[in-house]
Amino acid sequence: MKKLRIRRGERGAVAIVVAISLVMLMAAAAIGIDIAKLAYERQTLQNSLDAAAAAGVLKLPDDPPAAILEAEKFASANMVGAQLGSITPSVALRCVTSYNTTTKSPDWATVLAVCGITSHTFDPLDCNEETGICSVKCTAANHCNTIVVKYNKTVDYSFGPAIGIPTGQTGTVVSAACRGYCGTVAPNPMDVVVMADRTPSMKSPSGAFANMKSGIQDMLGSMNQDQQYVAFGTIALSWPSTSNMVAEPSGGNAFTDADYKACTYCSWSAYNKKWHWAGKWVPIDYTNKYTKTDASGVTSLDTSTTLGKSVGQLDYSDLTVDYPSSSSGSKTSTNEGTHLASALKGATRYLLANDPVTDLGLPKRPEEYGIPQKVIIFETDGAPSEIFYSDSSAVSLDNDLAIGYAGNGQRQSCENFAQIATLAKAKGIRLITIGVGDVNTATCGSYGGKTLYVRDYLAAAASPTKSGKASDAYNCTESGKTELENSDGDNYFCAATSADLKSVFIAAMGSLTDKSKLMSLPNADTFT
Spatial distance between the Cα atoms of 422 and 244, rounded to a whole number of angstroms: 34
pLDDT at 352: 94
Choice between 259 and 291, residue whose per-residue pLDDT is larger: 291
Mean per-residue pLDDT, 258-275: 67
Model-level pTM greater than 0.85?
no
- The yes-or-no verdict on residue 462 having pLDDT over 90 is yes
| pLDDT, tens digit (0-9, with 9 covering 90-100), for 314-330 | 888 876 777 777 667 77
- The yes-or-no verdict on residue 228 having pLDDT over 60 is yes
Q: Which CATH number fits domain 190-512: 2.60.40.3500, 1.10.8.60, 3.40.50.410, 3.30.70.890?
A: 3.40.50.410
Instruction: Encode burial over 199-225: b for 16+ CB neighbours within 10 A, e otherwise.
Output: bbbbeeeeebbebbbbbbbbbbbbbbb
pLDDT at 10: 57
Q: What is the DSSP letter of 104?
A: T
Domain ranges of the chain: 2-182+519-526, 190-512
Quickly state the pLDDT bin for 425 (edges 50, 70, 90): very high
Kind and range of the H or E element at 105?
A: strand 105-106
pLDDT at 305: 94
Mean per-residue pLDDT, 294-307: 84
pLDDT at 230: 96
* Residue 21 backbone phi and psi in degrees, to 5: -65, -40
Spatial distance between the Cα atoms of 242 and 233, rounded to a whole number of angstroms: 16
Closest to 439 (Cα-Cα) out of 373, 363, 379, 481: 379
Spatial distance between the Cα atoms of 316 and 248, rounded to a whole number of angstroms: 9
Least confident of 18-27, 184-193, 242-251: 18-27
Spatial distance between the Cα atoms of 207 and 204, rounded to a whole number of angstroms: 7
- Mean pLDDT (the chain) is 84
